[in-house]
């Protein structure tokens, strides 16, 4: 796990500025505090910051092939490097190190760009082939590791983070046309960034560049499925899932430094800890964060898991006293507007864990692989709701709307959520999903943005997204969106930036590509038996867990931002931006703050996303 940077001038006689490359690399030193390394040869330059996890003695980068004609910098880990190394030795390749980086080099020499399909891991790497005078940039299948790039001044400039490209001199010109999309989804979708000249390499894609230019290619995608003939063999699915999941955890425990696991009160991380405890000779270090607000706190459930599996358990408490420090950390490490407030607890638990270990396994990806989000229950509910008489579909939301006006606090929040579910369930998939995302309503979010700003309409953007979806059933459409957009653009970005801010490597067993490819073809009735979420996990690994976890409601990795925004000082942070900038409609912002303070609506996450946006526009 590291940070990489690079400069490739399309003019072969133009020399790379070594000071500029060093500045680009040093600015992300927290991604790799254990050392740096550089390769420069005329018009190509590669930079590397190292976080030592595997082969501590000889794994330094950049790393070269035996004849010196191939050089690579790698951010990430190739988990099946031992098996690939053995295969390559049988094919005649010689190794000087025990590093997974040298496996990447020899795999490229043996299979060319097809080597990407041989890797099981997370990565973004840059490989220079001296003989071909060709640069290969590659990103892993689902986007665990980031890679940003820009074509500027007749050069291809790239790096793990946007700040490296800005350090090179790429102009920081915001694309305000993404404001509407951002207010709905809380991120800027790839291949775009918030800045005009900077792009993101898509997951499962690679770039080939030479002096004639560059071209992007796709090497992996979700498998095509026959929705009329999905895998419905419950016994076989359970057995195969368990086998793949167990092996995924085993190969992700390959490590030469102290490691542990993030542990929430949910099934996903608890199942990982259960299996890690089976495979480890020593107690697993587990890390949990709790809250003073009981509604968001799962630490008691996490402690039950820690006790059952005899882990070395560590608990930290999230408080709002350091709000400004937290805000500035998010702004600094994400480089562009990123409005998911769960970045806050992710940062806390990463900082907490980094004091004890250098690597952790996490439960991210479980909801995608297992189709475990509550939205899948919502899809099933919508299908049943649409079978009711139209008059009843209209009448029920009206009753709940009246009921919400006579209660307050958490009961009002719950009624509002139920009312939102009912009012959207009669709509088509696209409209339903946008309504779910666009809280407290698309019309309100549109009114937030100054009307003189020309934006890309979120309906048009989402329509373009769904045109690419090959699936017909709403359940599988949701699965497609979770894998192709929410996961790489939100969940994985969140974890990468906050963990690397504290030089902590995170590994995600649920995102083993073998597991993804298999589970995509499993029928929805097997994944969700009746209304039960994550039936496959419950029928296998989760049987090992304390029974309290199996019956607990899903809280998610949230923070009480709605309560924080009832603080007048925090409210003024957002309002002060509106006074000096015409991006937001100040009256709408005040209304959102007022509704949140008076407990009419939970606008916490939206207000947080607006505050993050305002900080990026300063």
Enzyme catalytic residues: 2
Q: Are 316 and 290 in contact (CB under 8 A)?
A: yes
Q: Cα 428 to chain center, whole Å?
A: 27
Left if phi > 0, otherwise alpha if psi is -120 to 50, otherwise beta: which for 14? beta
Q: Are 126 and 136 in contact (CB under 8 A)?
A: yes
475 closest CA partner among 227, 189, 235, 226: 227
Report the C-alpha gap between 490 and 487 in whole angstroms. 6
Question: Which residues pair with residue 39 across a beta bridge?
Answer: 46
Report the C-alpha gap between 508 and 366 in whole angstroms. 9
CB within 8 Å of 515: residues ≥ 6 apart: 241, 244, 245, 248, 369
Burial (0-12, 13-18, 19+ Cβ within 10 Å), 242: middle
Report the C-alpha gap between 376 and 388 in whole angstroms. 19
Which residue carries 């919508």 as its tokens? Answer: 382
Report the C-alpha gap between 563 and 537 in whole angstroms. 34
355 phi, psi to nearest 5 deg: -75, -15
Q: Are 7 and 16 in contact (CB under 8 A)?
A: yes
Rounding to the nearest 10 degrees, give the CA dihedral for residues 266, 486, 559, 287: 50
Q: Is the peptide bond before 440 cis (omega within 30 degrees of 0)?
A: yes
Report the C-alpha gap between 57 and 52 in whole angstroms. 9
Angle, CA of 206, 517 and 54, to the nearest 5°:
60
CB within 8 Å of 223: residues ≥ 6 apart: 517, 520, 521
């Amino acid at each position: 796990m590291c940070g990489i940077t690079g400069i490739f001038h399309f003019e072969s006689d133009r020399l790379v500025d070594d000071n500029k490359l060093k500045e680009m690399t040093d600015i992300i030193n927290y991604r790799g505090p254990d050392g740096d390394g550089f390769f420069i040869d005329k018009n190509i330059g590669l930079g590397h910051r190292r976080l030592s996890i595997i082969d501590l003695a000889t794994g330094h980068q950049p790393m070269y092939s035996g004849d010196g004609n191939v050089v690579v910098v790698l951010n990430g880990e190739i988990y099946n490097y031992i098996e690939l190394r053995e295969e390559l030795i049988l094919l005649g390749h010689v190794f000087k190190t025990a590093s997974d980086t040298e496996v990447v080099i020899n795999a490229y020499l043996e299979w060319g760009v097809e080597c990407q399909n041989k890797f099981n891991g997370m990565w973004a790497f840059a490989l220079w082939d001296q003989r071909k005078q060709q640069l290969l940039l590659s990103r892993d299948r689902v986007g665990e590791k980031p890679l940003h790039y820009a074509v500027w001044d007749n050069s291809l400039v790239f790096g793990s983070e946007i700040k490296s490209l800005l350090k090179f001199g790429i102009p920081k010109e915001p694309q305000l046309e993404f404001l509407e999309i951002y207010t709905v989804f809380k991120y800027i979708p790839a291949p775009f960034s918030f800045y005009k000249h900077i792009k993101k390499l898509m997951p499962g894609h690679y770039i080939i560049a030479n002096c004639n230019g560059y071209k992007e290619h796709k090497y992996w995608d979700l498998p095509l499925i026959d929705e009329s003939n999905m895998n419905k063999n419950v016994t076989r699915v359970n057995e195969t899932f368990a086998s793949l999941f167990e092996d995924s955890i085993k190969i992700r425990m390959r490590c030469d430094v102290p490691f542990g696991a993030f542990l929430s009160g949910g099934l996903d991380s608890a199942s990982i800890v259960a299996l890690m405890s089976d495979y480890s000779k020593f107690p697993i270090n587990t890390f949990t964060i709790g809250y003073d607000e009981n509604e968001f706190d799962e630490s008691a459930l996490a402690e039950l898991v820690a006790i059952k599996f005899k882990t070395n358990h560590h608990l930290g408490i999230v408080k709002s006293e350091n709000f400004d420090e937290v805000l500035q950390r998010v702004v600094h490490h994400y480089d562009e507007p990123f409005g998911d407030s769960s970045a806050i607890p992710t940062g806390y638990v990463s900082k907490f864990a980094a004091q004890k270990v250098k690597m952790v396994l996490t439960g991210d990806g479980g909801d995608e692989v297992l189709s475990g989000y509550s939205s899948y229950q919502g899809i099933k509910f919508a299908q049943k709701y649409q079978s009711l008489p139209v008059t009843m579909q209209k009448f029920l939301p009206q009753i709940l709307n009246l009921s919400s006006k006579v209660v307050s606090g958490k009961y009002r929040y719950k009624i509002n959520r139920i009312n939102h579910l009912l009012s959207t369930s009669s709509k088509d998939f696209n409209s339903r999903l946008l309504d779910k995302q666009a809280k407290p309503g698309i019309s309100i979010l549109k009114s937030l943005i100054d009307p003189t700003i020309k934006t890309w309409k979120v309906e048009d953007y989402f329509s373009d997204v769904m045109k690419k979806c090959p699936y017909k059933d709403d359940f599988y459409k949701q699965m497609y969106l979770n894998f192709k957009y929410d996961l790489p653009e939100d969940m994985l970005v969140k974890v990468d930036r906050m963990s690397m801010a504290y030089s902590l490597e995170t590994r995600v067993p649920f995102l083993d590509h073998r597991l993804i490819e298999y589970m995509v073809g499993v029928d929805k009735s097997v994944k969700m038996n009746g209304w039960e979420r994550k039936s496959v996990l419950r029928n296998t690994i989760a049987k090992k867990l304390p029974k309290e976890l199996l019956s607990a409601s899903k809280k998610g990795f949230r923070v009480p931002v709605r309560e924080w925004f009832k603080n007048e000082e925090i409210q003024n942070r957002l309002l002060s931006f509106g006074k000096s900038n015409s991006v937001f409609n100040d009256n709408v912002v005040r209304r959102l703050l007022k509704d949140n303070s008076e407990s009419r609506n939970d606008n916490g996450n939206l207000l947080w996303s607006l505050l993050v946006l305002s900080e990026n526009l300063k």
